[in-house]
Amino acid sequence: MAKGFKVKIEGFIIHLQRATARRQQVDHLLKELPVKASVVDAVDGQAMSDEEIAGHYVKELHRPAYPFALRKSEVACFLSHRKVWRMIVERGLDAGLIIEDDVALDVALFGRCFEMGKAACKGAAYVQFQTRPVKGAFRTVARGDGIDVVSPEITQLRTSAQLVSRETAEKLLSLSERFDRPVDTFLQMRWLTGITPVCVVPSGVSDRTQETGGSTIQGGKTPWQRVSREYHRFMYRQAVRRLSAADRC
């Protein structure tokens, strides 16, 4: 996708129909995105049967073992992203700009960020536009117009906004017919996917989850469950850190 070469990119806004508080934000995004965009109906976990879940979700499929059982909403979120990856491939796009419906754009800044991301979207590329600062060590791979493209040592979580090449979409589809962890955690496994996501900093994207009705994924937990979860999350992240470091060597 060299500069001056016309590429075919479309935008996809993942939106859960029953999340009506987010519809106004979706309409804003449709007007503000720098490419032609459409709304993609998110898979609704509440409407999925146990049999449907079992057709996609398998525990302890990859290393390191993911320590938590997935909620239906997490399975549905993964399937929603798979739905868009398939659309990118079937439409013969060079890349797709995938946006979740709980974000807002700084239109002028995001336009510049998108151009930097597009320049980095070559081959098996996955370009993240994060809603929070990049955590941990990273190296800068491109710089221009006050914007950096960085490669984090550990792939960042969240799938708020990203530019995904067709080659990457094809690869992710083939590797995720069955899965054992949330989609953003799956993307951390560079040792499995062979894909190294990069981040555009700043991104021009901000989180509006609370303003648009709160999360459609998170569930309540007792204090003990929270403590236990934090311990297992820490141990899992340590394993991811070790594997990520080995993959970069």
How confident is residue 214, by pLDDT bands cut at 50, 70 and 90?
A: low
Assign residue 72 the CATH number of its domain: 3.90.550
In the predicted model, what is the mean pLDDT of the chain? 92
Please report whether residue 1 resides in a domain. Answer: no
In the predicted structure, residue 218 carries a pLDDT above the cut 90: no
Average pLDDT over residues 67-81: 97
Task: Write out pLDDT tens, residues 114-135.
Answer: 999 999 999 999 999 999 999 9
Closest of 120, 119, 143 to residue 202, by C-alpha? 143
134 within a domain of the structure (yes/no)? yes
* Residue at 3 is within a domain: no
Cα distances (angstroms) measured from residue 116 to each of 111, 129, 144, 165: 9, 11, 8, 14
pTM over 0.85: yes
pLDDT at residue 231 is higher than 70: yes
**Does 4 reside within a domain?**
no
How large is the angle between the packed helices 166-175 and 72-90, nearest 10 degrees?
Answer: 140
211 lies in which domain range?
9-248
- Indicate whether 220 pLDDT > 80: no
For residue 19, tell me if it sits in a domain: yes
- Mean pLDDT value across residues 142-168: 96
Say how many domains are in the chain: 1
pLDDT confidence bin for 2, thresholds 50/70/90: very low
Q: What percent of the chain has pLDDT over 90?
A: 86
Residue 140 has pLDDT above 50, yes or no: yes
Tell me the CA distances in angstroms from 62 to 21, 80, 153, 187, 189, one per residue in order.
Answer: 36, 21, 20, 12, 9
Whether 149 is in a domain gets the answer yes
Which pLDDT belongs to residue 219?
A: 59
